[in-house]
Structure 1
Amino acid sequence: MASIPQPFQSLCERDTQAEYAHLDDSTISVTNSCTTAQGMVSRLQGKAVVTDPESLAQFSVNFFAEPQPSDTPNYVVTYLDEDYSLAVVGNPDRSAGWVLSRTKTLSARQWEDAKSVLADRGYEFSHFQLTPHTVSH
């Protein structure tokens, strides 16, 4: 729904998605996709290794090579709504962040929750760019 844009997102114009799949007890696959200005779908695949087995909310994610076991996360789930409909994720130095949703739109309450969480976690909402999504009727 919103992100601090990263280099791999430079081609993305709309419909950004992240899909996760369980591979084993400590690894998940990550597939990021979006629609470019030319209407093409851009995809980037990677793997995430759990770095904190207690919380299961911190990962070492790598899109360009096999992730190496590490105690240092670069992807932290910092908020998860009770019904798993909204999540806020970022990296420890706050140079990357994402507001993720299971739907293509967020209610006013969800946006306020996301902004509040971002502020509480030390993020500046003005650094985030909203991601337009094609909503079919």
Structure 2
Amino acid sequence: METCNENLCQVCSHASFKYKCPSCSLRYCSVSCYKTHKATPCQPKKEANVTLEIDGQGNILSRQILFPTDDTVMPATLEKLETSEKLKELLKNPHLREMIREVDSHPNAKLMMHRAMKEPIFTEFADICLNIVEPEDVEASNWTGET
């Protein structure tokens, strides 16, 4: 299986990247690689958009996701989180809610997520969410060691 090193230049694949193209976010390591990349027009990175249809009372009637990826969780699946009693009980914890706010608002969310995953209550929160959103994947991997 081929492995992808996310720190490597996406043009030459030899050196660690230092820069990103402002148009398409392609990672490159040098002026030479930048010039190679710019030899052909790059495509701007497309952001996923969600279109909502809302009624007069503020209820969401329908959702459409533009540009979904393999990691996109469909709205109908996300709605299952609302009905989880375990999740509701866990979210009563003010420390957990503050951790979620910090991860969500921090400019380096990846770093904050890494730190948060060291906290047992946040790990429990993540496990519950994953069990709801991707039950077969979590059960198959059994990455928490719980039964």
What band does the TM-score fall into relative to the shorter chain? 0.3 to 0.5
Larger RCO, structures 1/2 (Cα 8 Å, 6+ apart): 1
TM-score with structure 1 setting the length: 0.33
Query: Which structure has more strand as a fraction of its residues?
Result: 1
Structure with larger Rg:
2
